[in-house]
Structure 1
Amino acid sequence: MQEFERKQLLERIEREGATVGAEIPDEITVQGEDIDLRSFVFEIKRRDTVPAGERERVEQAKRNLRRERIERKERIEDGGVSYEEGEALAEAVIGIDRALNALEQLGPANLEQEAKTQETADQKRWMKFLRKALGHEDADSGTGRAGRGR
């Protein structure tokens, strides 16, 4: 591979909009293991939130994908591959980036939503406790008007 070709491939990988229109690979070998990447990403994204039991699996997949991205990029940087191999590696890196983007979008937003939901539930429980403790809620009616107007 020529030096300018190698630089073009590396520039393409690092381009900000490189993943726009890119497809997640159907299958990819990551750390020596074949993964049905596209179906994995769509399976996880289909859910509104990542279940607690799946979080570690998703985080491990993201770590492995990042490692694989680095290894493939380094193979291009080393220049020991043909242009065709470099092209295939660049496409794979862009596909990995696309998958990582999809998986990253799930993380903080869902965790923030879960935290907000938990905080809201905690506040409701606290307010209910305070109403009962202060005698402002009739335990049977649930109207919050016990003892008023009697």
Structure 2
Amino acid sequence: MNVQEYQRKQLLERVEREGATVGTAIPEEIDVQEETIDLRSFVFEIKRRETVPPGEHERVEQAKRNLRRERRKRRRRLESESISYQEGERLTEAIVGIDRALEALESLGPSDIESEKQAKEAADQKRWMTFLKQALGRDETGGAGPRGGTDGSRDSHGGRR
């Protein structure tokens, strides 16, 4: 039985969801352009070194390009082809696994641990604020009605700040 349109939308949403790769394992192997790649061992081999050695830089960049291309191909297939729900599930898992591998490869390179920590904290805070705004029904300017103005003169209880 072919995947229903609502199921397809759910699978695509899962692929694009922020944090979809959390807890996802990098696939052991993946077929990219008719070639089987030992993806997990490749990523762990490179990741173990913490930075990309000069001789490996082009190999890593080529792997990332190939993975992005394969991700697009599989996503297009998930979006448009007549497939079963089970095949859609397999494609979704593969895409999320590719995303996980790409994240690992993208994070390589010389890193300043303190800047990386600050960037992660800033990104977490931004996601949290976006979530709160959506959950509380506030608009982008932070206004929530007559007392929620952006002039900052009063707190949420009507008192001076």
| Fold equivalence (TM over 0.5) | yes
- The match for 2:85 is 83
Alignment of 1:10-21 (within 5 A): 10-21=12-23
- In structure 1, give the amino acid aligned to 2:84: S
1: CA distance, partners of 2:74 / 2:81: 11
Q: Find the aligned partners of 2:25 and 2:101 in 1 and give their Cα distance.
A: 8
How far has the Cα of 1:34 moved from its partner?
A: 0.1
Which is higher, the Rg of structure 1 or of structure 2?
1
CA offsets 1:87-123 (integer angstroms, 9 cap, x no match): 000000000000000000004xx2x67xxxxxxxxxx
Partner Cα separation in structure 2 for residue 79 and residue 48 of structure 1: 39
Among 88, 100, 103, the alignment partner of 2:102 is 100
Aligned-residue identity in percent? 71
Name the SS of the counterpart of 2:31 in structure 1: strand
| TM-score, reference length from structure 2 | 0.66
Matched, 1:28 2:30: yes
The aligned counterpart of 2:60 is 58
For residues 56 and 79 of structure 1, what CA distance do their matches in structure 2 show?
34
Cα offset for 1:9?
0.2
TM (norm. structure 1) is 0.71
Partner of 1:6: 8
Deviation at 1:37, TM superposition (A): 0.3
What 5-or-longer segments of structure 2 have no aligned partner? 113-161
1:134 matched residue in structure 2: none
Please say which of residues 75-84 and 60-69 is displaced more in the overlay: 75-84
What is the aligned partner in structure 2 of residue 74 from structure 1? 76
1:49 positional shift? 1.7
> What is the total number of aligned residue pairs between the two structures?
110
CA–CA distance in structure 2, aligned partners of residues 101 and 50 of structure 1: 14
1:79 positional shift: 3.6
Structure having the higher helix fraction is 1
